[in-house]
Structure 1
Amino acid sequence: MLTILKEYIEGGYQISEYSRDGVNVSHTVKVPIQSEMPAEPEQQEPTLEDKINYIYYKNMGVI
């Protein structure tokens, strides 16, 4: 069974050290810390081709 020996933040990473025997480090996991939530993607303006297709299919009764 794994136990966490130590957790700390260093150089923009959250570092966790795990142990199988409770004394020696068996492996280390580094997870980058995100400072901000990513912004929502902007809605792209439909291309001219998309607009033409929309009008065509609307007139055909598909939409």
Structure 2
Amino acid sequence: MTQALTAEDQSKDRFFASLAKIAESMVEEHGKDFATGALILAAQWVAENRIGGEKDPMH
């Protein structure tokens, strides 16, 4: 039996699809090393609240 996706799951799937397209474009234009580094850097920025969230008042 197939379970219907929630609105949140559908939204997340759209973001993953967008991210995959961006990653593919980066690999095609600049190679795997660039794409990997850029995605890791973006993830680090999110984790450190540099983008996409409230600034940590302690830092």
Say whether the fold is shared (TM-score over 0.5). no
Which is richer in helix? 2
Report which structure shows greater RCO (CA 8 Å, sep ≥6): 1
The structure with more radius of gyration: 1
Which is richer in strand? 1
Give TM-score scaled by structure 2 length. Answer: 0.31
